[in-house]
Every structure is written in C-alpha cells, then in structure tokens.
Amino acid sequence: MQKKILVTGGAGFIGSHIVDTLIQDGYAVVVVDNLSTGNKANLNPKAKFYEIDICDKKVEKIFKIEKPELVCHQAGHINVRYSVENPIFDAKHNIIGSLNILQNCVKYKIQKIVFASSGGALYGEAETIPTPEIYPTQPVSPYGIAKLSVENYLYYYFKIYGLKFTALRYANVYGPRQNSQGEAGVIAIFAEKILKKQQLIINGNGKQTRDFVFVDDVVNANILGLKNNKTGSYNVGTGVETDINQIIQKLVQITGIRIKEKHQSAKIGEQLKSCLSFAKIKKEFGWRPRFNLDKELKKTIKWFRQKYKMTT
C-alpha cells in the first residue's frame, strides 16, 4: 500500500516541488492550498487537490476522508515585512492555521509532521555566524515569533500526545516557481525586474547578507524529515553568506542586462546578517547542501525567462 501524505501549501513554490518528489518516490499525495500565493499550474496532476485555507474548520473533513499517515506543513503567510505591518493577520495564518492542522494530526493519529519553519527570522541578529540551532531564538519580526510559537506547540503536541515532528528552519530559499509577488524572495523579485528591465529598489546599502539555499536542497531535507523518526528542529542552509549587492551582480552577469539601482531606507525589522549552520542536520540526517548558487541562479533565470516568454 502507498503511504499517504497530506501537503499543506502544495501548490506553492516549495510545496509543489515537495509534492513532485513524493509522487516520484511512490507516495499518494493530498494537497491543501488556498491559492493565495500558490498556483494551480504548479500542481502535480497525480495529487488530489483541495482548495481550502488551513484556518478553515472544514480541513477536518479532509483528514477524515483521506486518512493521511504523514503531514508536510508548508502553508502559511511568508511575507516578513507585511507581518511587521499586520501582526494579527500573520498570527491568524501562521499560528491559528497551524493549530488547526495540529489538532487534526492528533485526532486522526498522524505518524509524523514536518513543519516549514524559519532560520534567520528565529535567531534575530545573531552574533554567531553560521548560526547553530542552540543559539538563543530572539525573533525581531511577528513572522519569526509566529514560527517559533508553532515550534513550541509542536513540542507540546509531541510531549503530551506523542506526535512526532521535524521543524525545518529554512534559510532564504530560491529557485523555479518562486512567486515574486506573494512570497517576496529577493532573488525572484530581482530576477523578474531585471528581465523586465525595471529599476531595482534596494533597502539600505545592499550589504545585508543572507544564506541562499536552492529549493531542491530544501525538498531533500523534507523527504529525509518525513522518513526519519527523529524529533526536533533543524537548520536548512548552506553556511555561506552572500550580500544583496553580490546577488544583483550575479543576476546582471547571467542575464547580460544592466539595470539602474535605487537605494532607499532600510526596512524596520529587517536583519543585517543571516547565515545558518547545517552541522546538526548533516550529523543526524546525512543532509548537506548539494547545489551551487551560481549554477542554480542560471537555472532560476531560465525558468523566469520561460515564464515571461523572454528571449533576452
């Protein structure tokens, strides 16, 4: 019998790649997505799809009908800047929505849940770079606070109900299918603007650093998390800092298109440095980043060109 997995956010950027790999590996997959940032074009035709918000109480009917054994929870509000402007909206979708999923996981005896958490947003302005999981979690955005809250709830459900979990603290994920509008990935935003020959707006001096991890590496971490019995939180990053100015230079070099840049004031709550240690997940899961930034940026640009049918 095929194992059945429920993937929330399975029409989104990361979720849809996970779904593709799970189906390729022989799993039966059920997708829950409200399509707020996801896209039906991303959906694997072999997955069963329900268009519904994770906050909706009717989600329970899906658990009851489909009887999944595992849950991969990728859905949620992902815009850090908007969370600063509207923390109540963020909490509703990232905390209350997740609790709705967790309550059903317990009620319908899910074997394990893998949760898409956040690396940089949880550690705040860390003094230790690359930052390990043992570093104090001091989020400086409502988005980071919500992700940490869900991790604490996961621990509660594990201790009280025995629900096994793996929380994956993502670095800055990039790659094909990223939504430059809804998911606010800097690589996706800049790639689109450069290809459309639009001005680039850079917050601050552009020297803020991030840890850019390719989506296929993130997928591999999720698959390992679903297959592994270990419970806990794990960073998913490369351990390499790259600043925003460097990303622009790389994208300009790949596309051959030079665009005017405009610097504006740094955004409130935006971190200056973010880079994750992957030592723990390497030791316990055997995971490590396998994809090169320069090579995968070319693949990402190729996807955006095809999306906008550009030949430049």
Catalytic residues: 143
Q: Which of 53, 54, 74 is nearest to 118 (CA)?
A: 74
8 A C-beta contact, residue 273 and residue 209: yes
CA distances from 76 to 25, 80, 89, 157, 259 (A): 25, 12, 11, 19, 33
CA dist., res. 216 & res. 19, Å (int):
12
Who's near 144: CB < 8 A, 6+ residues apart?
80, 118, 121, 122, 124
Q: Which residues contact 251 (CB under 8 A, 6 or more apart)?
A: 187, 190, 191, 194, 297, 301
Among candidate residues 280, 260, 268, 240, the one with its CA nearest the CA of residue 198 = 260
Burial (CB count within 10 angstroms: exposed 0-12, middle 13-18, buried 19+), residue 106: middle
Residue 295 one-letter amino acid:
K
* Helices and strands: H and E segment counts in the chain: 12, 13
